Structures are given as C-alpha cells and as structure tokens.
Amino acid sequence: MEANVRSFLSTTGKVNKGIRDTLKDAPERFMAYNNGIVVIADEVRLGKTQDGTPAILWLKGMQVVNGGQTTASIYFTKKKSPEIDLSRVRVPAKVLILHSADMEAEEVLISSISKFANSQNAVRQADLSANKPFHVQIEKLANTTYCPDGVWRWFYERAADNYNVLLAREGTTPARLRQLKDAIPTSRKIIKTDLAKYLNAWDQKPDLVSLGSQKNFERFMESVEDREPQNALPDLLFYKRLIAKAILFKTVQKLVRPMFPAFQGNVAVYLVSLTAKLIGENLDLDKIWIQQELSFQMKEQLKIWATEVNEVLHQSSGGKMISEWAKKPECWKIVQGHSYSVARADIPEVR
C-alpha cells in the first residue's frame, strides 16, 4: 500500500460504508458494484490453475496504487465481523507491469495513475505528494522523535486520515486507545497542508498562505523541489524547528481567534510572518521545542502585534474584503513596511 496516496478513510464515508454493507449483505454482487483496484508490479509470472484456467502465479514489487479504500474496507470489515464469508467476493483488478528504469518517470506514472484512476473518493493535489521523499522523511522523524518529556510526540499525517488508521490498528483495547490518544493527541497532529502553512508563514509568504490550503501547498512543494539539492532530506534539527514553528502558529491562532470579530485567519497568518521578520533571527526555536509552548511574555507581545496587524490590514485594504486583499503581494509589502511596537525585553525565547 506504500504507493497509495491515502490511508483508510474509515467506514463513516458514504462510499466505504457502501462497500462494507455490500460485503455483509450481498458479497456476490461486489464485482458488479465496485470499480476494483489498480495494481502495479515490477515482474509477473503467468501460469495455470489446477483446472487449466490462466492465472497469475506471482507478482514482484506489487503495490495497490488505486483501490486502497476497497482493499482496506475488505480488511477492516472482516476484522470487525469475522463471520462474514469473503469466499463469494470477487474484486476486479487492473495489473500493470512497469518496465521503466527511470525512477523519476516511474514516480510520475504512479502519481498519474493514482490521480486519473480514482473516481470513488476525490483525490486532492496534496494527496498526490504523499510519497515524495520530503514527506516520507518528515513522517519517519515524527514517528521516532519524542518530545523532551519522553512521553508525548507529534504525529505527521503524510497520507490522508492516517491518524485514525493508527488508532484503529493499534488501539485494540479501550485502555490502549486512551494511551495512544494521550501520547499523540489531535492537538499534536500535523497534516501536509498545515505543514506548508506553518513554513510558508514563517518564510514571510503570508500572501501565498492566504490563497488557501491547496494552492499554498502546491507553491510550497514547488519551492521544496526547486531549492533542495538531490537526496537532501530534512534532518532532526529541521524537524524540531518545524515543530517550534507549528507551536508558534497554533498559539497565534488561539490568541487571535477571540480578539477580532472577523478575518482572524488572515490576521494570524500575517502576524506569524511579521514575527519572523521582526524577531525571527533572534527567536530561539530550539527553546520553544524544549518547552513545547510559548512563554506568557511572548504571548502578550503577540497580542500587541496582532492588534497592530489587524489595523494595518483594514487601513490598507481600501474597502476590499480583507480575505481577498490578503492574497496580494502588495498587501504584505504594506504590512511589513509599517511601524510596530518594539518587542519587550523580557521575552525568554528571544536571544
């Protein structure tokens, strides 16, 4: 399943619920109702069954690139209802043997197959980047790096809904499920589009972040592929500072939400970018990682700047909707060119 762009989306969705119900109530009609799966492999050996029917004897390097929901629905339905008889279930499969020696071309082909073959659950652009080395590495770092307390850790959802898959797979008892949720709470879950939001906001690109999750993610991935040399992957220091930026962004969101009646999202994004501009070079991200939160002094300073950013956004909009004005590069030019209160001298995170 590694080449599939998403993890199991649970049986609460309309399509997966229908698959489950068919397996239970009309297994012999499964092929008629289901679009089947698309499988890729490096090698295939053909032969015949005992009754002489042509058959695939084995596949090497087999991956389900489309049909992950079908595959997982069958698995979880049988796991939860062992009495279901799957012997009457037939699943149509398209099997493609890849002969390409060009790994890059092969990756493009697999991505295209995933995109064009999927017609049951919509695939977002961010889902198609799930198998990029950058995201795979971030996931590995998240799975192996614990917070300084040695108990909690952050979760990077590389494939859509992978967090719920973790809970379903490992939360085998109520006690184990509670333990998992305590160690990896949803407040410490980061999805790919959020990662792009945190990093682009810190890199002082609030106009891009304001374009929306998917468009910002596309721009972020373009920048990652342009600036990173071949085989250069995020390391542990990058990961810890990424989490520090996530903590900053999430804290800003919580602070800004009750402060203004509207456009809190735009104010939050611009406030993070402004903070990076004003004190970014002196902000100790490593200390934020160690503390896993911002100090009272830092929060108070952010509130002051939030009020000032909100005023500048409204004054510079010229009557335009703030959410639309915030998408313009000119907006960020004006906001960063304004004068702001000097940062207080007692902020522990500032060197």
Give 52-77 pLDDT, tens digit per residue.
999 999 999 898 888 888 888 899 88
Residue pLDDT, tens place only, 13-43: 666 788 888 888 888 999 998 888 999 898 9
The answer to whether residues 164 and 269 belong to one domain is no
The answer to whether residues 212 and 325 belong to one domain is yes
What pTM does this model have? 0.70
The answer to whether residues 201 and 180 belong to one domain is no
Q: How far apart are CA 47 and CA 54, in angstroms?
A: 6
The pLDDT value recorded for residue 111 is: 76
The answer to whether residues 205 and 325 belong to one domain is yes
Residue 85, domain extent: 14-116
The pLDDT value recorded for residue 67 is: 85
The answer to whether residues 77 and 158 belong to one domain is no
**Is 122 domain-assigned?**
no
Q: How confident is the model at residue 6 (pLDDT cuts 50, 70, 90)?
A: low
pLDDT at 119 over 60: no
**Is 348 domain-assigned?**
no
Q: How confident is the model at residue 127 (pLDDT cuts 50, 70, 90)?
A: confident
How many domains is the chain partitioned into structurally?
3
**Is 351 domain-assigned?**
no
Displacement of CA 8 from its chain's centroid (Å): 14
The answer to whether residues 32 and 93 belong to one domain is yes
The answer to whether residues 182 and 279 belong to one domain is no
The answer to whether residues 157 and 50 belong to one domain is no
The answer to whether residues 108 and 202 belong to one domain is no
**Is 350 domain-assigned?**
no
- Token output for 44: 């295939």
The answer to whether residues 59 and 196 belong to one domain is no
The answer to whether residues 21 and 104 belong to one domain is yes
The answer to whether residues 202 and 169 belong to one domain is no
DSSP code string of 63-85: EEEE-HHHHHHHHHHHHH-TT--
Residue pLDDT, tens place only, 225-241: 776 555 578 999 999 99
Name which of 41-50, 126-135, 320-329 the model is least confident about. Answer: 126-135
Strand partners, 153: 146
Q: How far apart are CA 106 and CA 103, in angstroms?
A: 5
